[in-house]
Structure 1
Amino acid sequence: MKRYILSLFVLSTILTLNACKKSEEPLTPSGADETYTYKVPQGNNAFDETIVDYYKKYGTYMLYKFTEKDAYWTPTGWKKPLEVKGSWTAGAEVEASDPVYIAAQLNLIKTKWFNFYSDKFLKKFLPVKILLCKRVDSVGNAFIFTPVFSSVKSTKKMPAFYNYDNIQINYGDATVNSMTAADLRLFIYKTNLIFMQSIFARGLIAPTNEFANSADYNTAMTTTTQAYGRGIIVNPSGPAVQADWNAYITAMVTYSTVQLNASVAITDSSAAGILNPIKDTAGQIKRRYNMVRNYFINEYGVDLQLIGNATRGL
């Protein structure tokens, strides 16, 4: 029995690693009844050359022809939103891009996503697949209270969404040519946030020793003021170093320096004002903020704060 259980564990581990791994060979997703192999180019359009170049540089497949399995399969089950007992499960519904607009979509991805990072960063952290979509709709529930209480499907257009080994990018349709300044800021905000969240979910960015040793995570805290005084910006009831590290990264890519330095009440739970003395009562948040920011500048040539700054003005 022990041998059988161990074999299942090893098999499961191998399947998961194969699904996550970037390979120089065509990738075959694991854990399904059918075999799908990703290859680029998927056509002979001029933009296919750009897609092939990205694969050669970063080992990432940018797909505009993909199956539901490519979008929704994970080792723990399918993530396509479903109606269950009158309510919809969370997730996003996607639809592949219209080839007419893929060249413009690729330019959007380059200028408002890839250009914030170095090749070294993208090669290490991009997922196996980027799905080019003309529709990425988050799914949830809206509620009707009269005459009888019930829930109905609710959808919202999203610039991007991530799911296990892929990031799904919107605007592969005519709307890519009519994006407003607000649309572009939202695209920068959401796509780069989704990118970071996918990196966190894959466990690819561990805190540095300098960061981990720069705050007291062992002594219990009961208030936000106590946490901020130690330079900890996550929930004081039970912070972990990784969660705090992730929170600093998230703050940089979603808030501008103006917002981070704004005068905001300490009772505000967002990252706004974390570098202002009102929240940063002992100067420890700014000290640790600089550790994280400088690490990515020195290690990858990437200033994450430039992303947050771009979400507030173009």
Structure 2
Amino acid sequence: MKGITHIILLLAIGVGISSCSKNEEALNPSNADVTYQVPQGNAAYDQTITGYYNTYGSYLLYKFSDRDAYWTPTMWKKPVQSSTGNWSVGADVVPAIADYIAPQLDLIDKSLFSLYPASFLKQFLPVKLLLCSKVDSIYTTYVFTPVYTPAKGVKKIAAYYSYDNIAINYGDASVNQMTAAEKLAFLARLNQVLFQSINDRGLIKPTIEFNNSADYSTTLTTQAAAYGKGIISTYYSATALSDWNAFVMAMVTLSETDLNRSVANTNSSAVGILNATKDANGLIRKRYNIVRNYYINTYQVDLQKIGNKARGM
């Protein structure tokens, strides 16, 4: 691979020239010319970025447009305020600051890349990882005085997934001031978002063994009843797919200590799902092991080790 890797994706009316976009074909508006290129400069970290592209096939971009961050085939996802004052859900992102890209890359490597086999990331990372100095979750909040009024809520987050990209925070001075707790929170969020992107793209489906290990045809009326059948996703909308994804997210976000804690079976969080209080019939643990062993045997990825690490274990 030469120093500059260059892919141009051009979709015009009646003519389609597409690049490989990892598990799905990228869709773009007619007459759109989208170019991704690495390296984007000549700093030392640019060679690190090029190395990541050569290994994983994903573009780590610190120069990117609003289109790179917000466009999807069905909508423009940049948060906007409606005529009623409410804000659409999403994230505001700003590109990383050059002086902090090197430590940001080191943080990403320790919190994500080093935790998985290269083959897994090559297959499942989205097309773009956007290196950002700001990733803010946007939502509607309310001002109560002098009148009840919608307002823009803003919360700093470590990472955000949107269609073909993950926007990653801490490409600013704060990367050099992170506490141990903040680094763990970053690791937890980044890995959670990675698996959110895998789940949302439908790249890993429940196995036949998993599908056959629970009865989804019977109407469930409480979360406790769902637990009794080995089902951990929300009882009134549970499916094999939602349950599979719920087990994955439980493992990558919670430690084994969290999962084995005694929590009331009316509690809908994943905390305590392996304890007899929730898992009275042992079916949750059986299904947990099906999912965990599938990832270990198929991808050499132990999801629970990610959750343990995210919790400082």
TM over 0.5: yes
State how 1:175-186 maps to structure 2 within 5 Å.
175-186=174-185
Aligned to 1:71: 69
- TM-score norm. by structure 2 comes to 0.90
Aligned to 2:130: 131
- Aligned 8 A contact 1:28 1:38 in 2: no
Aligned to 2:105: 106
Match of 2:56 among 55, 58, 75: 58
> 1:140-190 CA distances to partner (integer Å, 9 max, x unpaired)?
122111211112212111100011000000000111111001111110111
The alpha-carbon deviation at position 36 of structure 1 amounts to: 2.2
| Closer, same or farther: CA 66–274 of 1 in aligned 2, 3 Å | same
Letter matched to residue 168 of structure 2: I
- Aligned 8 A contact 2:130 2:167 in 1: yes
Higher mean alpha-carbon deviation, 170-179 vs 114-123, is at 114-123
Aligned to 2:4: none
Aligned to 1:296: 295
Q: Secondary structure at the match of 1:136?
A: strand
Does residue 22 of structure 2 align to residue 22 of structure 1? yes
- Aligned 8 A contact 1:222 1:236 in 2: yes
Give distance in 2, aligned partners of 1:204 and 1:103.
31
Aligned to 2:223: 224
Give distance in 2, aligned partners of 1:169 and 1:299.
28
Letter matched to residue 56 of structure 1: N
Q: Secondary structure at the match of 2:235?
A: coil
Q: Secondary structure at the match of 1:84?
A: coil
Q: Secondary structure at the match of 1:36?
A: strand
Higher mean alpha-carbon deviation, 210-219 vs 249-258, is at 210-219
Does residue 143 of structure 2 align to residue 166 of structure 1? no
Structure 1 ranges of 4+ moved more than 6 A:
none
- Aligned 8 A contact 1:135 1:172 in 2: yes
Give distance in 1, aligned partners of 2:30 and 2:75.
11
Aligned to 1:87: 86
Q: Secondary structure at the match of 2:166?
A: strand
Aligned to 2:312: 313
Letter matched to residue 113 of structure 1: L
Aligned to 1:35: 33
- TM-score norm. by structure 1 comes to 0.90
Letter matched to residue 241 of structure 1: A
CA RMSD of aligned residues (A): 2.2
- Aligned 8 A contact 1:28 1:37 in 2: no
Percent of matched pairs sharing the same residue: 53
| Closer, same or farther: CA 233–80 of 1 in aligned 2, 3 Å | same
* Unmatched tracts of structure 1, length 5 or more: 1-10
Structure ranking higher in strand proportion: 2
Letter matched to residue 286 of structure 1: R
Structure ranking higher in helix proportion: 1
The alpha-carbon deviation at position 28 of structure 1 amounts to: 8.4
Q: Secondary structure at the match of 2:77?
A: coil
- Aligned 8 A contact 1:260 1:274 in 2: yes
| Closer, same or farther: CA 51–22 of 1 in aligned 2, 3 Å | same
Letter matched to residue 136 of structure 2: D
Q: Secondary structure at the match of 1:142?
A: strand
Higher mean alpha-carbon deviation, 72-81 vs 47-56, is at 47-56
The alpha-carbon deviation at position 34 of structure 1 amounts to: 4.1
Give distance in 1, aligned partners of 2:128 and 2:271.
33
The alpha-carbon deviation at position 47 of structure 1 amounts to: 1.0
Give distance in 2, aligned partners of 1:19 and 1:215.
40
Give distance in 2, aligned partners of 1:19 and 1:236.
41
